[in-house]
Amino acid sequence: MSASATVNVRYMVSDVDDAVAWYTQHLGFEQLSNHAPAFADVRRGALRLLLSGPTSSAGRPMPDGEQPGPGGWNRIHLIVEDLAAEVERLQAAGLRFRNDIVKGPGGLQILLVDPSGNLVELFQPAQGQ
């Protein structure tokens, strides 16, 4: 296995076109390809996000019958410079958050919910981090 500068993460989504629009319009991702309704991929920096719809190969049922789907608590983590300003901007655009801003030893964070129920953590590092 060779090391790569690109990190690939797959999210199951309910609607590929909705997901592409959401990530590109609100979070600054660029669209790489779109093979809706099955699959699309978008990139932000070194992160390549694979958006797989229900008709993609990743959406096929497992041998035990379980169907892959969006949601859960795993998430991508995006660093922002001013979390309060980002939250205000995204709320004005009608986007949904799962919680309020939380302060921890490493900084501030909040969970943004994509159209399929997947989470995106927006994180502002503490000063000096």
- Asked if pLDDT for residue 31 goes beyond 70, the answer is yes
Tell me, what's the pLDDT at 72? Answer: 87
Tell me, what's the pLDDT at 4? Answer: 66
How far is it, in rounded angstroms, from Cα 63 to Cα 22? 32
- Asked if pLDDT for residue 127 goes beyond 90, the answer is no
pLDDT tens per residue, range 41-75: 999 999 999 999 999 999 999 999 998 999 888 99
Dihedral pair phi/psi, residue 104, rounded to 5°: -130, 180
Cα-Cα-Cα-Cα torsion 65, 98, 121, 126, nearest 10 degrees, comes to -150
Q: Confirm whether pTM is higher than 0.75.
A: yes
How far is it, in rounded angstroms, from Cα 39 to Cα 58? 9
Neighbours of 4 (CB within 10 A): 9
The CATH topology of domain 7-59+70-125 is 2,3-Dihydroxybiphenyl 1,2-Dioxygenase; domain 1 (3.10.180)
